[in-house]
Structure 1
Amino acid sequence: MERGLTGQYVSSVAGGVNCKAFVPAPLPPTPELQLSGKLHSRISQAMLALGRLDAISTLLPDAQLFLYSYVRKEAVMSSQIEGTQSSLSDLMLYEMEGMPGVPMDDVQEVSCYVNALSLGVQRIREGHPITFRLISELHQALMTSGRGINKAPGEFRKNSVWIGGHRADEATFVPPPAIELANCWADLERFINDVPQETDPLIKAALAHVQFETIHPFLDGNGRLGRLLIPLILVSGGVLSQPLLYLSVFFKKHRQTYYDRLQQVRISGDWESWLLFFVDAVANTASQAVDTAQALNQLRQTHRQQLEPLGRLATSAQQVLDVLFEQPIANINTLVKGSNLTPATVGKVMDRLSQPDIALVKELTGQKRNRVFAYSAYIDILNQDQT
């Protein structure tokens, strides 16, 4: 449904150039959303997929192990949208104080995303509402290191910015001037917290994401924080008990459609087309997350059985395998700490698991000392839907 312009253009100056900046109207949309027909059916499909995802998180032997890796996968993909080159393996190497094969700024940015997301979920569980205080805290965590450290962490931008194009008067989009940010955010904050009326959490997450990206309140990190807002709203609204829905893979695959839908909302007020795209992203991503969880669970069972014929080494090998499910890239010290086995025993286990007849792990460094191992099958499952 086309409602026309969903806000107003105001005169502004960005980069020393006169331009027209866009100030969005408060949510919810007017006239109200038309959630019937095709859109109603697709919303129902998305909710069913979310229900299966929430159920699988309670059926996994250890949901936290899955969450650990899945959060890191999301951090990598969300940061890649912004131009970093870090891989999941790079991040895990960095976290165990290994040496990533990419610029340090890249992997630090990804690590900060993990910290910000974890902090956000912690605050939601503590009962904090999604307000400027929380968003500011998350932005600080997101910009603690890497290239964002000099981009005013935790503070709304004080300058006008533009998106696309080499100058503001030829830009694809110019977000609200800095002077409008406080009012824009206050309106969005009220909507997120169901003032004056309640909004279904899935619809709320979809609309709030667009509004946040349109407001573009920070100098940097808006895309990552806007994507992070989606699982936080769903956890806060009780749709998910674990923050296991991350749409960065889908948005990255369909990047141009994603940007087109955002701009279409602003120009024509067609929220329904955005919602169709968004709920398809939710249904697709939730279904893939369920498949990934089931595949990892099956992998664990299969590999534990594969270790049973190892005789006296079998019990130690299974203890090491449990640690690798927590940290799929690990050195001997990490495995010793996690398994409470001796370095000598862990070394024997890893030598055995590296041999061709088992080949559960791959040694990455080619060194005799300070060796680093990858649980390749585990990482391959996580990487399956990233292209």
Structure 2
Amino acid sequence: MVNTDSIQISPEILSLIAEIDEFKGAWRALGTLAPERLNALRHVATIESIGSSTRIEGSRLTDREVERLLSDLRITRLDSRDEQEVAGYAEVMDTIIHAWADIPVTENHIKQLHRDLLKHSAKDERHRGAYKTLRNDVGAFDADGTMIGVVFETATPFDTPRKMEALVAWLAEAREVGRLHPLLIVAVFVVVFLAIHPFQDGNGRLSRALTTLLLLQAGYAYVPYSSLESVIEQNKEGYYMALRQTQGTIDTEAPDWQPWLVFFLRALQQQKRRLEDKVERERRAQTELTDLAIRILDYARDHGRVTTRDMVHEHGASPNTTKATFASLVAKSLLVRHGAGRSTWYGLP
């Protein structure tokens, strides 16, 4: 069983938890943006999360390339490893965001998410959805990709099933007992999961997907609207250092949880602050809209699409003013332009 008796709630940890929980409580008031703007925020955050989480593991695809790939997924052959990883992560995140309440955190469901994560990679067919059968210690590699040393020893294949069973049981008990704050429960689960490294490949990506799942289940409903993975990617060195500092002590009598807990909570703080800034910018943009712009957005919301002719006929607006207003709404990402010339129409993002 996971030993959390040595967790010390420092003033910094207490302050971070309080700030994050304050935002959690205020999200309903902050989330009063128009539905299409919230959807746009979530779309951007999802692309950032997929791009960042796969790049942390070595992918080279930019966010723009990730978005292009996912928009053409049905007709695109996933030839490269990077593309396969992006497609798999996107499907897992979509499942979690839309069905988080119906996904119990059991060993079987963790295995199922892992299977979906690697479903597009033929190379991983043998071990997807199954615990590892070979050692997968975390190593240091030279410029040619050759491992030159072991940075961290993970659980052996023999010990992995027992340790995963204990981790899942600890999670269920910790949630039920409620002695630890939910954010600390999520943090401990993630760092122990990565210390076990239960699968042959994909553990890092799966751990970040599970983080989103656990946060949503803990009531942090704003999480899909701001990318935690992007925060981690931009602090990757600190991420690995905090993991190693805590993981090296997990099997001792007094594990040192502090390095990882502080990093994890600071990352959550940065995630929510980014979202606060985005929401504030969106609110300012909405209050700066003209009456005509608001009518255009209302028309698009009611009818699914809108043209400049609709506004000229409906409200008697001048064609030049109407065109300028449409251009402004497109520039603010409040509308998306479709077609060209006389066939041009606009829709919500």
TM-score of the superposed pair, with normalisation by structure 1: 0.68
Is the counterpart of residue 124 in structure 1 residue 100 in structure 2? Answer: yes
Cα deviation, residue 147, structure 1: 7.2
**2:245 alignment partner, one of 264, 270, 280:** 264
AA aligned opposite 1:259: Y
The whole-number CA distance in structure 1 between the counterparts of 2:85 and 2:125 is 13
Number of the residue aligned with 1:218: 199
Using the TM superposition, give the Cα deviation of residue 307 of structure 1 relative to its aligned residue in structure 2, in angstroms. 4.8
After superposition, residues 222-371 of structure 1 pair within 5 angstroms as: 222-240=203-221, 243-244=224-225, 246-268=227-249, 269-299=255-285, 302=288, 307=293, 315=296, 339=304, 360=331
Letter matched to residue 88 of structure 2: C
Per-residue deviation at 1:138?
1.3
**Is residue 113 from structure 1 mapped to residue 92 from structure 2 by the alignment?**
no
Identity of aligned residues (%): 20
Matched, 1:165 2:165: no
1:179 matches 2:158: yes
Q: Name the stretch that deviates more: 293-302 or 179-188.
A: 293-302
67-76 or 250-259: bigger deviation = 67-76
Shift of 1:271: 0.8
The one-letter code sitting in structure 1 at the alignment partner of 2:12 is K
* Deviation for aligned residue 1:52: 3.6
Q: What's the counterpart of residue 43 of structure 1?
A: 17
Larger deviation, residues 68-77 vs 145-154: 145-154
Instruction: After TM superposition, give the deviation of residue 298 of structure 1 in Å.
Output: 4.2
Which residue of the partner structure matches residue 315 of structure 2?
A: none
C-alpha contact (below 8 Å) 2:171/2:185 kept by paired residues: yes
Query: Is the Cα contact below 8 Å between 1:168 and 1:174 reproduced in 2?
Result: no
Which SS does the other structure have where 2:275 is aligned? helix
The answer to whether the Cα contact below 8 Å between 1:109 and 1:147 also exists between their aligned partners in 2 is no
Instruction: Return the alpha-carbon distance in structure 2 between the equivalents of residues 36 and 176 of structure 1.
Output: 30
Distance in 1 (CA, whole Å) between partners of 2:289 and 2:122 is 40
- Amino acid in structure 2 at the alignment position of 1:61: A
Q: CA deviation at 1:361?
A: 8.7
1:71-86 pair list within 5 angstroms: 71-86=46-61
Please provide the CA RMSD for this pair. 4.3
Q: Is the 8 A contact 2:48 2:230 kept in 1?
A: no
Partners in 2 of 1:256 and 1:213 — Cα distance? 16
CA distance in 1, matches of 2:202, 2:276: 29
Per the normalisation by structure 2, the TM-score is 0.74
Q: Deviations over 1:85-132 (max 9, x none)?
A: 3233323323332899x9754344223222202212444323x42111
- Give, in whole Å, the separation in 1 of the partners of 2:139 and 2:223: 35
Structure 2 spans left out of the alignment, 5+ residues:
250-254, 311-322, 334-338, 342-346
- Once the two structures are superposed, residues 250-272 of structure 1 have per-residue CA deviations (whole angstroms, 9 ceiling, x without a partner) of 21122111111111112343212
Q: Distance in 2 between matches of 1:117 and 1:93?
A: 17
Match of 1:143 among 98, 118, 136: 118
Alpha-carbon contact 2:48-2:63 (below 8 Å) kept? yes
* Alignment length (residue pairs): 320
2 CA distance for matches of 1:144 and 1:297? 40
How far off is 1:176 after superposition?
0.9
Indicate if the aligned counterparts of 2:293 and 2:326 stay in contact, CA closer than 8 A: no
- CA distance 1:114–1:184, shift in 2 (3 Å): same
Q: Check 1:354–1:223 CA distance in 2 against 1; reply closer, same or farther (3 A cut).
A: farther
CA deviation after TM superposition for structure 1 residue 301, in Å: 6.1
Equivalent pair of 2:152/2:248 in contact (CA under 8 Å)? no
Aligned residue for 1:172, secondary structure, equals strand
1:296 & 1:156 partners in 2: Cα distance?
44
Which residue matches 2:33?
60
Q: Distance in 2 between matches of 1:114 and 1:229?
A: 13
